[in-house]
Copies of this chain bind each other. A is one copy, B any other.
Amino acid sequence: MSKERQALKQEEIKNLIINTAQEIVAKEGINGLSIRKITNIIDYSPAIIYHYFKDKDEMISKLMEKNYKKIIDAMSSVYSTNSEPEQKLKDSTKAYIEIALQMPDEYMNIMLNTSDNILEHTSVLFNGASVKRQAIGVLCKVVKDYYKGFTISDAEIELTAQLIWTSTFGLIIRLIIEKNIPQEQRNNLINQHIKIIINGLLHTKS
């Protein structure tokens, strides 16, 4: 067996573990996940986890990273084809919200995660986030379009993009946490949210 095939086999078992973990989390939540539940399902002994991962935390981190990529993938389809910057921002924001709400548990687990290796991918409030974070980068472009002809620094643009993101993030998290919100109220909130932040931009041109 070649080194490559061996590595592939190892990857397969790692995936088997992670996917099984994912299923349990989907059914019973992150707190319902245990090593023994995983190994019972895949018919291994509990100790096997520690041959493929350092510990449970690392295993969960790997699961989170996978979900993060899943979210990123979904989000990359967000780019609105509309050429009007205002409509573009509205479309993109709405799409972003809806994608997040289609995978509420994953979104929350990732975006509220405080472990360093996850934050490495999910933090957005640092200087230079516009080049390192796709979501912020996209927002920056649209914001820049607004302020065409006005003297506004790149720093201020990034700041604004970050705040569009955090405000949208806040709405998403509360829509997830506060279950049982009627669909009509949800729609009203989302539409009004978009209205307000776009207007906030349109008229901050100083």
- Asked if A148 is an interface residue, CB under 8 A from chain B, the answer is no
Do A174 and B125 have beta carbons less than 8 Å apart? Answer: yes
Q: Report whether B170 and A119 are in contact in the complex, using a CB–CB cutoff of 8 Å.
A: no
A195 within 8 A of B: yes
- B169 and A174 form a contact (CB under 8 A): yes
Return the chain B residue nearest A188 by Cβ.
Answer: B159
Tell whether, in the assembled complex, residue A159 and residue B192 are in contact, meaning their CB atoms are under 8 Å apart: yes
Instruction: Place the interface of chain A in its size category.
Output: 35 or more
A189 in contact with B125 (CB, 8 Å) = yes
A143 to nearest B CB, angstroms?
Answer: 11
Is there a chain B Cβ closer than 8 Å to A156's Cβ?
yes
Stretch at the interface among A2-10, A42-50, A197-205: A197-205
| Chain A residues numbered 72-120 whose CB sits less than 8 Å from any CB in chain B | 112, 114, 119
Which of A168, A173, A199, A203 is packed against the most chain B CB atoms within 10 Å? A199
Which residues of chain A have a CB within 8 Å of any CB of chain B?
112, 114, 119, 123-127, 156, 159-160, 162-164, 166-171, 173-175, 177-178, 181, 185, 188-189, 192-193, 195-204
